[in-house]
Amino acid sequence: MFYPFQNPGSRRTFVKRLGGVLAALATSSWANVNLNDPDPSKKSQTMNLKTVTNVRRLGFQWDTADPFLFCVHHEDFFPKGNGKLGPDAALLKGRDIGQDFTVKDGFRMYHGSTVPGFPEHPHRGFETVTVVQRGMVDHADSQGAAGRYGGGDTQWMTAGRGMQHSEMFPLLHEDKDNTMELFQIWLNLPAKHKMVEPHFTMLWRDEIPVFTTADRNTEVTVVAGTLGDKKAPSPPPNSWAANPDNELAIWVVDMQPGAEWKIPAAKNGVNRTLYFFKGNSLSADGERIPPYHAADLTPEYETVLINGTEKGRLLILQGRPIGEPVVQYGPFVMNTQAEIQTASMDYRSTQFGGWPWQTSDPTHGDVSVGRFAKHADGKQETR
């Protein structure tokens, strides 16, 4: 998905301009817990050290720390489908079709014209991890691969030396609303892997483990990394996450009202950030984290979380930094400006393999078509 510039012009203008512009990142003990207090930071505590730093409000695009590049939390309350996988035409009036990032009637069309989503666009030098909570995504790419996934599935795609793909959000249900919620996380690649062959791995929802605390008040979906006795499925082979020494983690945390959970310690030097995106209040080692805020955590110590009086949801991103220069221009992420210029020239000359689909925004059928993945090597998966 193309996020760093949310208003690149219309879809047609965006594609036309790519060739010219792409050349130009504690432990603590707790007592006297009052579960009726909506602000858990007021709960009595004895603190040994400060493990929470840099609390900040979240926008549409979330800042992340190396090895991540950024994260976007999509939540769109799409209406009933019109039988053609899009919203009723009347709901498209008043929108800047092709660059619709303004929430109107509860949703955005993004770069889609009839079906919301992100038509054909290129990437090089990093990975996308698309964690879908609700709704469906139709994937197509320049290698001829395709897929439909969602409702708890994750697609982990290594762009490597370059590929084009599209990500459309089909409104499959004509008898009820089509709510979409997902995270798209951009994860950097080290220099030695920036030009590897493109690849994607499907992490289907029934394969992604869930860690549950003894009191069953907290559940952690382990998309990447290890938590307790739960280990996530293997990421793509050239990912920074493929080496366990990098301690890369992507965890989606669900906490019941008043729930308490200790985030276990990691190695010194690992970057760890908590994103509190749903709930009315959260305390992290006594530091109040307001709703829709992020906080950086000191990873070599446990961090005690206490949720407020509503169900809370968090995203935790963690990993050892790559520690290399990052030069990003639109959909390309390299180590030097010269490599960005090369990426631009390569895209102009090769289109990263071309586009084998009849339209820039292909979808994969109506509600009768279930979740599937067709890989570039011909391998097919169905769910």
**Measured between alpha carbons, how far is 250 from 222 in angstroms, rounded to an integer?**
6
- Could you read off the pLDDT of 306-364 as tens digits, one per residue? 999 999 999 999 999 999 999 999 999 999 999 999 999 999 999 999 999 999 999 99
Closest CA to 363 of 32, 79, 85, 65: 85
Answer whether residue 22 shows pLDDT above 80. Answer: no
Answer whether residue 31 shows pLDDT above 60. Answer: no
CA angle 141, 144, 148 (to 5 degrees): 65
- Could you read off the pLDDT of 70-127 as tens digits, one per residue? 999 999 999 999 999 999 999 999 999 999 999 999 999 999 999 999 999 999 999 9
Q: How confident is the model at residue 37 (pLDDT cuts 50, 70, 90)?
A: very low
State the pLDDT at residue 49: 64
Query: How far, CA to CA in Å, does 315 sit from each of 64, 209, 268, 279?
Result: 12, 15, 21, 12
Closest CA to 183 of 156, 210, 211: 156
Answer whether residue 155 shows pLDDT above 50. Answer: yes
Answer whether residue 12 shows pLDDT above 60. Answer: no
Q: Where are the alpha helices (DSSP H) in 183-281?
A: none
Answer whether residue 256 shows pLDDT above 50. Answer: yes
State the pLDDT at residue 35: 32
Closest CA to 266 of 211, 214, 295, 226: 226
Mean pLDDT across the chain = 90
Residue 16 buriedness (CB in 10 A; 0-12 / 13-18 / 19+): exposed
**Measured between alpha carbons, how far is 322 from 320 in angstroms, rounded to an integer?**
7
Number of continuous H segments (helices) and E segments (strands) in the chain: 2, 29
**Token digits for 243?**
């080496």
State the pLDDT at residue 9: 45
Query: How far, CA to CA in Å, does 28 sit from each of 35, 197, 284?
Result: 18, 46, 10
Q: How confident is the model at residue 1 (pLDDT cuts 50, 70, 90)?
A: low
By the 8 A CB rule, do 270 and 319 touch?
yes
Least confident of 16-20, 87-91, 198-202, 230-234: 16-20
State the pLDDT at residue 50: 77
State the pLDDT at residue 167: 98
